[in-house]
Structure 1
Amino acid sequence: MSRLIIHYFGRRLLDEPNIRSSHQIPTPRGGGIALAGGVVITVLIALWLARIEPAPIYWLLLPSGLITILGICDDLFNLNVGIRLAMQFLLAGLGIYFIEMNSEWLPSMRLLISGLMILFIVWMTNLYNFMDGINGLAALEAISVCVAMTFIYWMQAVNTDVIYLLIVITSSACGFLFWNFPKAKLFMGDAGSLFLGLSFGLLIIESSHENFRLVIAWLIMLGVFIVDASYTLTYRFITRQLVHQAHRTHAYQKIATRFNSHTKTTLAIVAINFFWLLPIALAVTITQLNSAAALLIAYAPLLLLAQKVQAGRAE
């Protein structure tokens, strides 16, 4: 499927290098169509074969599939930021509706909690989009996080449907990775990054119905993306820079420039996921390490690194 996208979008959707780009040559984007399409097709086949319950179709596949279409439109037509945000809120709300439709919250509390959940999901959707900037990073982040969370869910013996979804996302991301790492022949584009960001946001919210410690494990495993995007955008907001404008001031972008290598930077982040964040996530879910302490331990070095490389500061 990725080969077909390269052929079709090779001229129609070419990402031209500019002063804010981390790549040097024009490269087709839109590879996220193959990634998302692989997930959607595989899960629908699994539903047809009765290998998975229908519920994830509604709370995950429907909103994530629709946001992929939004990403395709954005890749093609560069949609207005207001339209993009409005659709993201709508689709996040759709996912929350199906996740929380049987909840026992009081109506007033339900409205407040659902609103906070929607805000969180929209933030997750956008931060994943912000962090898709160098070869292999978004795909390998998805693969490493999904592999880690599959192991954690298996250890906890909970929700086999989610385990199946994580395996499918991992497989699709691996298929895309072949074309994106170490040398990018194809970029993911908004179609893929929005799909992954929204999917992870919804998976985190859904996990709260299983065990709140799974939520903490998700937040820990996604720590590199959460800390880098949050620190960078907060710094840019405080210093009155245009936060919605494309830039090259994320910590990962500055590190890639210092290393003069996308590959080293991406692999270093994967190593952080497996050798730093995963043991902490396991400690939370298996040894009952305090959740607040675990997040502090996981995030503190990442915050210090972002500060050290001056993330958010214009060159």
Structure 2
Amino acid sequence: MVVFLFFGAAFLAALFLTGGMRRYALAAELMDIPNARSSHDVPTPRGGGLAVVAVTLVGLPASTLLVPFSFSSLAALWIGGAAVAAIGWLDDRQDLPARWRLLVHLLAGAWVVAWAGGAPALPLPGLEWDWGVLGSVVLVLFIGWVLNLYNFMDGIDGIAGVEALTVAGTAAVLLGWLGAPGWASVSGLIAAASLGFLLWNWPPAKIFMGDAGSGFLGFALAALAVLTWAEAGLTFWAWLILLGAFIVDASLTLARRMLRGERFYEAHRSHAYQHAARQFGSHQPVTVAVGVINLLWLAPLAWAAAAWPEWGLVVMLTAWAPILIICLYFRAGLRE
């Protein structure tokens, strides 16, 4: 009962803080102005994701009062997340060079992997691969990629909030099932805070998340993937499945744009979800579809990967295959 009261308090705090951020953004003229690459038509306040950042950073130490939690895990999430949110907030205000943002992102990823003790052995059919230093490098790059793709995928109303709510919420259930109540409470905290923001960001959005919020959520989910694999046994495959909707769309889009020689870091409107939103004439059907896919397709398969980790690669490819087909159908990475 106390845990659910904690989640409820996180939800309400994020809900009211997002409203406060909207008032501040309007007063400070911190607006997202539509341009040729935007998916919205009217100037909209941005920076609402800071409410999720604040609630999560305050809630992390508070959660240790409910369930015992290691200092190292708390430090990995808190310091790394605060650094990513800070560089995102600066970028929201003055457009920092991409190289400085990327440096902070990779350092935050390395910080998490170091606290996790490196890369755990990767379960494969018939063996567990101890991939050592290579695995650590891959996990740092994984955190950096998920962090940035979350920003890329935050391009229509509600989609980033729905992704965080459903992925973190499902992870909380899986971690509880695995007997890791501390990690379940952290995942539940992120889900509750994301829901508070989502009510303001639901189509038509009254405020946007901003780089600070999207970067923080991408980092938090990727860091959870690494830390809960190392400490709670929630296999890496399960996390790759849970994040599949975002990973497949962003990765396919990036690959196609790079093959055309385009600058991958420049803003564009060629993700599958953006093509789909224009085709349907609305953001809401696409945002709802992402939530449905996450809960009805990816969540059960993530449980299967957690239950039989040696078959996780096979389950992951099964989970990703129809998403890849959908992304190809909606012309991910192709110009309008």
Same fold (TM over 0.5): yes
Alignment match, 1:198:
219
Q: Equivalent residue of 1:178, what SS?
A: helix
> Partner of 1:6 in structure 2?
22
User: Quick one: which of 38, 52, 75 aligns to 2:55?
Assistant: 38
Match of 2:275 among 254, 257, 261: 254
Shift of 1:195: 0.3
Residue aligned with 1:209, SS: helix
Aligned residue identity for 2:297? W
The structural deviation recorded for 1:12 is 3.2
CA contact 2:119–2:135 (8 Å) conserved in 1: no
Q: Deviation of residue 51 (structure 1)?
A: 5.2
Aligned equivalents of 1:124, 1:55: Cα separation in 2: 22
Q: Which residue of 1 is the match for residue 6 of structure 2? A: none
Shift of 1:99: 1.7
Question: What percent identity do the matched residue pairs reach?
Answer: 35
- Structure 1 residue aligned with 2:34: 17
Aligned partner of 2:137 in structure 1 is 115
Q: Alpha-carbon deviations, 1:195-220, whole Å to 9, x = none? A: 01111111111122246662111110
- Within the candidate set 288, 291, 316, 1:267 is matched to 288
- String of CA shifts for 1:219-265, please: whole Å, max 9, x gaps: 10110000000000001001112211100000001111111111111
Residue 273 (structure 1) shift: 0.7
Could you tell me how far apart the structure 2 residues matched to 1:209 and 1:90 are? 19
2:63, 2:186 within 8 Å by CA — same for their partners in 1?
no
What letter is aligned with 2:55?
G
1:238 aligned to 2:238? no
CA separation of 1:214 and 1:65: change in aligned 2, threshold 3 A:
same
Q: 1:185 is matched with which residue? A: 206
Deviation sequence 1:157-180 (CA, Å, 0-9, x none):
2x2211010111011111111110
5+ residue gaps in structure 1?
A: none
Contact 1:216 1:281 in 2 (8 A): yes
The reply on whether 1:126 has 2:148 as its aligned counterpart is yes
TM-score (norm 2): 0.87
Residue equivalent to 1:220: 241
Counting only pairs closer than 5 Å after superposition, residues 169-180 of structure 1 correspond to structure 2 as 169-180=190-201
Which residue identity does 2:332 align to in structure 1?
A
Measure, in 1, the Cα distance between the counterparts of 2:108 and 2:313.
30
TM-score norm. by structure 1 comes to 0.93
Deviation at 1:90, TM superposition (A): 1.3
2:124 aligns with none
Measure the CA separation in 2 of the matches of 1:138 and 1:196.
9
Aligned to 2:299: 278
Given that 1:147 and 1:167 are in contact with CA atoms closer than 8 Å, whether structure 2 keeps it comes out as yes
Aligned AA (2:23): H
Matched AA of 2:223? L
Partner SS for 1:18 = coil
After the TM superposition, which residues 56-95 of structure 1 pair with which residues of structure 2 at under 5 Å, given as runs? Answer: 56-95=73-112
Task: Tell me which amino acid in the other structure corresponds to 1:293.
Answer: V
Cα deviation, 1:63-111, whole Å, max 9, x if unaligned, reads: 011111111001001100111111111111122222217989xxxx754
- Tell whether 2:170 aligns with 1:153: no
Contact 2:178 2:233 in 1 (8 A): no
Q: Distance in 2 between matches of 1:274 and 1:3?
A: 28
- Cα distance in 1 for residues equivalent to 2:119 and 2:319: 33
- SS of 2:325's equivalent in the other structure is helix
Large movers: runs of 4+ above 4 Å: 48-51, 101-104, 210-213
Q: Give the drift of 1:290.
A: 1.8
User: What's the Cα RMSD here?
Assistant: 2.1
Please say if residues 235 and 313 of structure 1, whose CA atoms lie closer than 8 Å, have aligned partners that are also in contact.
yes
Q: Say yes or no: does 1:141 pair with 2:157.
A: no
Measured in 1, the distance between the counterparts of 2:117 and 2:34 equals 43
- Cα distance, 1:147 vs structure 2: 1.4
Q: Within 2, Cα distance between the matches of 1:213 and 1:95? A: 16
Amino acid at match of 1:42: G
User: Would the aligned equivalents of 1:31 and 1:189 in 2 still touch at CA under 8 Å?
Assistant: yes
Asked whether the equivalents of residues 157 and 202 of structure 2 are also in contact (C-alpha less than 8 Å), the reply is yes
Q: 1:284: Cα distance to partner? A: 2.1
- SS of residue paired to 1:121: helix
Q: Residues of 1 paired with 2:119 and 2:271: CA distance?
A: 40
